[in-house]
């Protein structure tokens, strides 16, 4: 049955139009990395991509954990390849993410840090004990399995670089950024409303070092990334139709 066309849906569609109509070309992970590092040897980028895909330990460890609670393997989104390549190329000391949920992206980021032999991941999440509108309600499972914390799919062997902080990002993100001072990469994947997304982008940007990155999932859910990129005078990349990246 079709959903009724309501005034709210019309307003939401109208707000998204500028971002949708002006969206950058869709890029595969390797193409995006090449744009960010135009002088990099394509063979080196391909080798890193190969190292990600051949890592049986990562995929098997996370899948085994997922099977214990979800009774299915993990969802390996295409943009996770970009996350891995970005960390391998940028070699961040400090990476901050909001929105952890099961922790698949956290595991990929931590694996890339382990392969770099450097880096610390600070993750902030409000535990989804029930579906959160605008964040987890559109996912295959909208809430965490009973009895686990966010990031439960991160293998134990990768947790030495992991700093998980539970609570509302509106409270914890400013505190964490003040504590950390300068960061290399910020990743938004929490509440996908316009107000919250642009709040997080604006909050993180002054702390991102020159040459660092703001990355975000679901950039076409609303025009927050479109407006933010214009505010800071930087173009954003569109990886696999909906994962965004802005370089400072």
Arithmetic mean of pLDDT, 160-184: 99
Domain ranges of the chain: 7-247
Please give the pLDDT value at position 141. Answer: 73
pLDDT of residue 1: 44
Give the tens place of pLDDT for each residue, 131-161. Answer: 777 777 776 777 999 999 999 999 999 999 9
Handedness of CA 135, 146, 124, 111 (dihedral sign): negative
pLDDT at position 12: 54
pLDDT digits 0-9 by tens, 21-51: 578 899 999 999 999 999 999 999 999 999 9
pLDDT, position 133:
79
Q: What is the pLDDT of residue 17?
A: 59
More confident residue, 167 or 131: 167
Write down the pLDDT at residue 69: 96
Query: What is 7-247's CATH topology?
Result: Rossmann fold (3.40.50)
- CA 197 – CA 203 distance, rounded (Å): 10
CB atoms within 10 A of CB 4: 6
Three-class SS of 193-225:
CHHHHHHHHHHHHHHEEEEEEEEECCCCCCCHH
Residues 61-98: tens digit of each pLDDT? 999 999 999 999 999 999 999 999 999 999 999 999 99
The pLDDT confidence band at residue 120, using thresholds 50, 70 and 90, is: very high
226 within 8 A of 22, measured Cβ to Cβ: yes
SS3 content of the chain, % helix, strand, coil (to 5): 45, 15, 35
Give tens-digit pLDDT for 210-233.
999 999 999 999 999 999 999 999
Q: What phi, psi does 145 have (nearest 5°)?
A: -60, 150
Q: Is the pLDDT of residue 4 over 90?
A: no
Q: How far apart are CA 116 and CA 118, in angstroms?
A: 5
Report pLDDT for 13: 52
Distance CA 71, CA 80 (A): 21
Q: How far apart are CA 192 and CA 99, in angstroms?
A: 10
CA 170 – CA 15 distance, rounded (Å): 23
Across the chain, mean pLDDT equals 92
Q: Contact at 8 Å (CB) between 100 and 127?
A: no
| pLDDT-derived band at 18, boundaries 50, 70, 90 | low
DSSP three-state, residue 206? helix
Per-residue pLDDT at 10 exceeds 50: no
C-alpha span between 131 and 121 (Å, rounded): 25
> CA–CA separation, 117 vs 84, rounded Å?
14
Cα angle value 110/114/115 (rounded, 5°): 120
* Strand runs labelled E in 132-207: 162-166, 183-188
pTM of the model: 0.91
- Rounded CA separation 89/42 (Å): 12
Residue among 24, 10, 18 nearest 223 (CA): 18
Does residue 5 carry a pLDDT above 60? no
Q: Which helix (H) or strand (E) holds 13?
A: helix 7-21
What pLDDT, on the 0 to 100 scale, is given for residue 14? Answer: 53
């Amino acid at each position: 049955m079709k959903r009724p066309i309501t005034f709210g849906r019309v307003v939401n569609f109208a707000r998204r139009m500028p971002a949708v109509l002006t969206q950058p070309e869709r890029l595969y992970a390797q193409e995006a990395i090449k744009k960010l590092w135009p002088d990099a040897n394509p063979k080196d980028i391909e080798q890193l991509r190969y190292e990600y895909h051949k890592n049986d330990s990562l995929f098997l460890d996370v899948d085994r954990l997922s099977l214990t609670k979800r009774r299915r393997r993990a969802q390996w989104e295409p943009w996770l390849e970009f996350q891995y390549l970005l960390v391998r190329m940028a070699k961040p000391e400090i990476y901050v993410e909001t929105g952890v949920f099961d922790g698949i992206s956290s595991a990929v980021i931590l694996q890339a840090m382990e392969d770099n032999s450097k880096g610390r991941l600070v993750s902030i999440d409000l535990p989804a004990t029930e579906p959160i509108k605008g964040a987890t309600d559109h996912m295959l499972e909208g809430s965490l399995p009973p009895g686990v914390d966010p990031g439960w799919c991160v293998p134990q062997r990768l947790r030495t670089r992991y700093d998980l902080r539970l609570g509302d990002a509106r409270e914890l993100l400013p505190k964490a950024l003040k504590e950390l001072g300068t960061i290399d990469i910020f990743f938004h994947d929490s509440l996908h409303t316009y107000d919250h997304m642009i709040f997080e982008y604006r909050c993180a940007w002054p702390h991102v070092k020159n040459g660092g990155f703001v990355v975000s999932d679901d950039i076409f859910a609303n025009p927050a990334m479109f407006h933010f990129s214009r505010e800071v005078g930087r173009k954003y990349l569109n990886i696999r139709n909906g994962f965004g990246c802005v370089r400072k």
